[in-house]
């Protein structure tokens, strides 16, 4: 075995060990709670960046699991929205990301964990290749969770996907664009967030734009995480009396990282990028 492959395998083992211990934490946190509470009451973090793990777990309890399958793109090997499902609900599925290094680390770690039912694909995702990449990895039809987080063409990728029919969709929205604007960045297959604008505020789509897209595709908005990063949609035929459908005004949360920790108001964030190009979504 070469020195490079030995190093990579050892790194994968260490990453797998960290993931394994987080898995145990996830088992502790996955418990039933009063389903009448606001969605934020169900947040917790095992592998997700912004406590999405708890919300996804809660929504799956309400709508049920069909075939324990997911597709997630824009992920880190040990920080993503569906790894908790893989390890604590025995899901199979597909992770995709544009970073070869990240994907190699994930493949190595997941192999150590014995998760052969999980595919990891390195590709820069576009509206033109997204469906082919999904079906090429043996996934089509109804899946339980679709998670979209690419810091750029999020709206356009979700719009393009037609080979799977997710029960739950988690998609990053750009809170900088506010609750009232229905806009997205124009489609650019080579979109790189910080190349477009140094602030990092110019990417993705507003919550209103994504909610309108979701409605067209048969989904209802049921909430956003407390940190103001991800929106959660449930397919309309799966809605239950215990799950409130929210308006954008009810669900919208400011991006706490930008407002609280960077000290930049949502208004000032948008002022920094208002001269950029946008597409209005009707």
DSSP-assigned letters across all residues of 137-198: TT--EEEEEEEE--SSSHHHHHHH--SEEEEEEEEE--GGGTTT--EEPPP-TT--HHHH-T
Which pLDDT does position 49 carry in this prediction?
Answer: 82
- The domain segmentation of the chain, as residue ranges, is 3-280
Taking only the tens of pLDDT, the chain with its 282 residues reads 344 444 456 676 666 656 655 555 554 455 544 443 478 888 888 888 888 999 999 999 999 999 999 999 999 888 899 999 999 999 999 999 999 999 999 999 999 999 989 999 999 999 999 999 999 999 999 999 999 999 999 999 999 999 999 999 999 999 999 999 999 999 999 999 999 999 999 999 999 999 999 999 999 999 999 999 999 999 999 999 989 999 999 999 999 999 998 999 999 999 999 999 999 999
Position 11 scores a pLDDT of 72
Please tell me the distance from the alpha carbon of residue 42 to that of residue 222, in angstroms, as a whole number.
13
In the numeric block, the tokens 């897209």 are attached to 213
User: C-alpha angle 166/168/171, rounded to 5°?
Assistant: 100
Q: Which helix (H) or strand (E) holds 12?
A: helix 3-29
Angle between helices 52-63 and 3-29 (to 10 degrees): 60
- Predicted confidence at residue 212, as pLDDT, reads 99
- Beta pairing class for 164-172 and 92-97: unpaired
Specify whether the CB–CB gap between 85 and 67 falls below 8 A.
no
Can you list the positions of beta strands (E) in the chain?
69-73, 92-97, 118-122, 141-148, 164-172, 183-184, 219-224, 230-235, 279-280
pTM across the whole model: 0.88
Q: Which CATH number fits domain 3-280: 3.90.1150.10, 3.30.43.10, 3.40.50.150, 3.50.50.60?
A: 3.40.50.150
Tell me if 41 sits within 8 A of 47, measured CB to CB.
no
**Cα–Cα dist 127/61, whole Å:** 31
What pLDDT digit, counting tens, does each position of 92-134 carry?
Answer: 999 999 999 999 999 999 999 999 899 999 999 999 999 999 9
Per-residue model confidence (pLDDT) at position 225: 94
pLDDT digit string, tens, across residues 45-65: 888 888 899 999 999 999 999
Question: Is the distance from CB of 205 to CB of 173 less than 8 angstroms?
Answer: yes
């Amino acid at each position: 075995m070469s020195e490079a492959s030995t190093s990579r395998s050892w790194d994968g083992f260490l990453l797998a060990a960290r993931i394994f211990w987080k898995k145990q934490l996830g088992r502790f946190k996955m418990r039933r709670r009063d389903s009448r509470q606001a969605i934020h009451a169900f947040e917790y973090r095992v592998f997700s960046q912004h406590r999405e793990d708890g919300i996804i777990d809660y929504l799956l309890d309400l709508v049920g699991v069909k075939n324990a399958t997911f597709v997630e793109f824009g992920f880190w090997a040990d920080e993503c929205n569906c790894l908790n499902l893989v390890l604590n609900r025995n899901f199979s599925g597909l992770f995709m990301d544009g970073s070869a290094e990240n994907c190699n680390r994930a493949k190595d770690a997941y192999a150590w964990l014995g998760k052969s039912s999980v595919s990891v694909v390195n590709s820069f995702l576009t509206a033109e290749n997204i469906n082919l990449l999904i079906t090429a990895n043996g996934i089509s039809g109804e899946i339980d969770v679709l998670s979209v987080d690419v810091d750029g063409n999020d709206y356009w990728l979700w719009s393009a996907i037609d080979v799977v029919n997710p029960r739950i969709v988690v998609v990053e929205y750009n809170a900088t664009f506010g609750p009232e604007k229905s806009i997205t960045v124009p489609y650019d297959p080579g979109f790189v967030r910080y190349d477009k604008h140094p602030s990092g505020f110019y990417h993705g789509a507003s919550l209103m734009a994504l909610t309108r897209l979701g409605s067209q595709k048969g989904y209802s908005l049921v909430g956003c995480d407390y940190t103001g990063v991800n929106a959660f949609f449930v397919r309309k035929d799966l809605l239950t009396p215990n799950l409130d459908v929210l308006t954008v005004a009810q669900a919208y949360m400011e991006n706490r990282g930008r407002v609280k920790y960077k000290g930049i108001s949502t208004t000032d964030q948008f002022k920094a990028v208002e001269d950029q190009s946008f597409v209005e979504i009707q």
